[in-house]
Structure 1
Amino acid sequence: MKLVSWNVNGLRACANKGFGDYFREVGADVFCVQETKLQEGQIDLDLGGEHEQYWNYAVKKGYSGTAAFTMKKPLSVRYGIEENEEPEGRILTLEYENFYLVTVYTPNAKRDLSRLEYRLEWEDRFRDYLISLDKLKPVLACGDLNVAHNEIDIKNAKSNRGNSGFTDEEREKMTRLLEAGFIDTFRHIHPDRTDVYTWWSNMPGVRAKNVGWRIDYFLASARLAPLITAAESDCHVLGSDHCPIVLEIALD
């Protein structure tokens, strides 16, 4: 099974920058996106008719939002942690026979860290949610988690320590999530690989020089580790300030 996750930073804009070409080329069984930044009816996305489409729109226009396009119809779909309670459209959960798939766009603490307290509280709720699902069946969780977990996951660790996305508090929440029974699939396959990132600033030359952050992840219940066959970042794919990430796993 091949799964893809991509923070598209506005799906309408990304659709004009090659999203459809990549979608068809990668041939994913399930393709998850974050930061769709649109409302129902604002895009006519031609996926070839083979994929079911599920959308969690933010109440605020042009903001946040998640979606999943899947060739295998899920048993159920949940919008938010609690049913229909999450106004920023950040979480979408697809239930399949043998696992749950969660796509998530974690809140940003903001440059001045004015939303850090909210972010940390949200992290606790998200962790508890994944744990509750994991008690029922294994979990795959993908998306933009808005944190570079370790120094190996960011180009300039020393100068960025304490900045939004690389505060000690945010990194500790990621550590606690993994300690709760989940693995970072990329690091499971590539524990020591350096200079692989998923987000780059829009400042001139930054992406060309690969001065990036790895903040997009596929997490998995630890018991799924033996089934993981590949975990990669398609860093060459443009269209957003993030690149797509790909997971291949022996699940039906």
Structure 2
Amino acid sequence: MKLVSWNVNGLRACVNKGFMDYFRAVDADIFCVQETKLQEGQILLELGEEYTQYWNYAEKKGYSGTAVFTRLKPLRVQYGLSGEEDPEGRVIVLEFEHFQLVNVYTPNARRDLSRLEHRLAWEDRFRAELQRLDAHKPVVVCGDLNVAHQEIDLRHPKPNTGNSGFTFEERGKMSALLESGFIDSFRHLYPERAGVYSWWSYMPKVRERNVGWRIDYFLMSKRLAPALREAEIACEVMGSDHCPVLLELDPAAWPTPRADEDNLLVGHP
């Protein structure tokens, strides 16, 4: 099973830069996108009859937004965190037979850190949501988490320490999330691989010189680790300031369901 996640930084713009060519070539079972920057009706994607499309639009025009395109039919779908409105369109949860998928675009703390407190509070609610979901069925989390977790995850860690996306507070929240029962699929397979990033500034020559950050992830419940076959970062794929990240799972290695697992999501079928 192949899953792909890509912050497209404006889906309409990305479509004009080869999105559909990559979508067809990668042939994913589930394809998640973040930062669609769309309102309903602003784009018509011809993905083929085998894919069902789920969209979570931000109320603000040209801002945020997430979507999932899946060949697998979900049991249920949830938009946003449980019991909360999601005006920025940041979360989609799909429950499948053996696992739950969470597609997320984490709030940015902003360059001046003016939204750091909001971000940290959101992180706590998000972690609680993942723990709630994981208590019933294993979880795969993908998306732009807007944080480089360790120094190995960005080209210039020292001068960026304390900057948005590499504050001690944001990194601590990522550590807390992993410690609550999840693994970073890429680091699980490649704990010492450096120089592999998923985001680069649009400033001249930055991507050419690979001055990047790894802020796009596939996380997963620890008990899904036996099903993990590959985690890749497609640095060569253009079309956005981010590149796609990929996850390959072996359905034959799904963990045996626990007796207390059930279909708990509330949303649209």
Bucket of the pairwise TM-score, normalised by the shorter protein: over 0.9
What are the residue-to-residue correspondences of 1:224-235 with 2, within 5 Å?
224-235=224-235
Q: Does 1:170 align with 2:178?
A: no
Matched position secondary structure for 2:17: coil
Aligned residues: 252
Q: Corresponding residue for 1:72?
A: 72
Residue aligning to 2:208: 208
Deviation at 1:85, TM superposition (A): 1.0
Secondary structure (helix, strand or coil) at the match of 1:205 reads: coil
Measure, in 1, the Cα distance between the counterparts of 2:235 and 2:142: 17
The match for 2:260 is none
How much has 1:143 moved relative to structure 2? 0.1
What is the deviation of 1:194? 0.4
Q: Which runs of 4+ in 1 moved over 6 A?
A: none
Residue 46 of structure 1 pairs with residue 46 of structure 2: yes
One-letter code aligned to 2:247: L
- Name the counterpart of 1:143: 143
Question: Aligned equivalents of 1:204 and 1:50: distance in 2?
Answer: 40
Distance 1:141 1:194 in 2: 22
Q: CA deviation at 1:84?
A: 6.4
Over 3 Å counting, the alpha-carbon distance change for 1:43 and 1:83 in structure 2 is farther
Q: Which residue of 2 aligns with 1:29?
A: 29
Q: How does 1:233-244 map to 2 (within 5 A)?
A: 233-244=233-244
Whether contact under 8 Å (2:11, 2:36) holds in the other structure is: yes
Partner of 1:230: helix, strand, or coil? Answer: strand
> Conserved in 1, the CA contact under 8 Å of 2:82 and 2:129?
no
C-alpha RMSD of matched pairs (Å): 0.8
Cα separation, 2, equivalents of 1:49 and 1:26: 17
* 1:93-129 deviations in Å (ceiling 9; x for gaps): 0000111000000000000000000000000000000
Q: How does 1:1-252 map to 2 (within 5 A)?
A: 1-82=1-82, 85-251=85-251
State the TM-score, normalizing by the size of structure 2. Answer: 0.93
Partner of 1:78, secondary structure, is: strand
Question: Per the alignment, in what secondary structure is the counterpart of residue 251 of structure 2?
Answer: coil
Which residue type is aligned with residue 21 of structure 2? D
Distance apart, 1:142 and its partner CA: 0.1
Give the deviation of 1:64 after TM superposition.
0.2
Distance in structure 2 (CA, Å) of the matches to 1:34 and 1:77: 17
Q: Deviations over 1:12-68 (max 9, x none)?
A: 000000000000000100000000000110001111222000000001111000000
Alpha-carbon separation, structure 1, partners of 2:39 and 2:124: 28
Shift in Å at residue 83 of structure 1?
A: 5.2
Distance in 2 of aligned mates of 1:82 and 1:249: 27
2-structure distance, mates of 1:233, 1:78: 27
Q: Write out per-residue CA displacement over residues 68-89 of structure 1, whole angstroms, 9 at most, x where no aligned residue.
A: 0000110000000025611100
Amino-acid identity (%)? 69
Aligned CA distance change for structure 1 residues 14 and 127 (closer, same or farther; 3 Å) = same
Other structure's SS at 1:114 match: coil
What is the SS of the residue equivalent to 1:194? coil
For 2:84 and 2:57, how far apart are their aligned partners in 1? 11
CA distance in 2, matches of 1:58, 1:83: 17
Supply the distance in 1 between the matched residues of 2:83 and 2:239 (Cα, whole angstroms). 32
Provide the rounded CA distance (Å) in 1 between the counterparts of 2:17 and 2:128.
37
Using the TM superposition, name which of 146-155 and 44-53 deviates more.
44-53
CA distances 1:144-184 after superposition (whole Å, capped 9, x unpaired): 00000000000000000000000000000000000000000
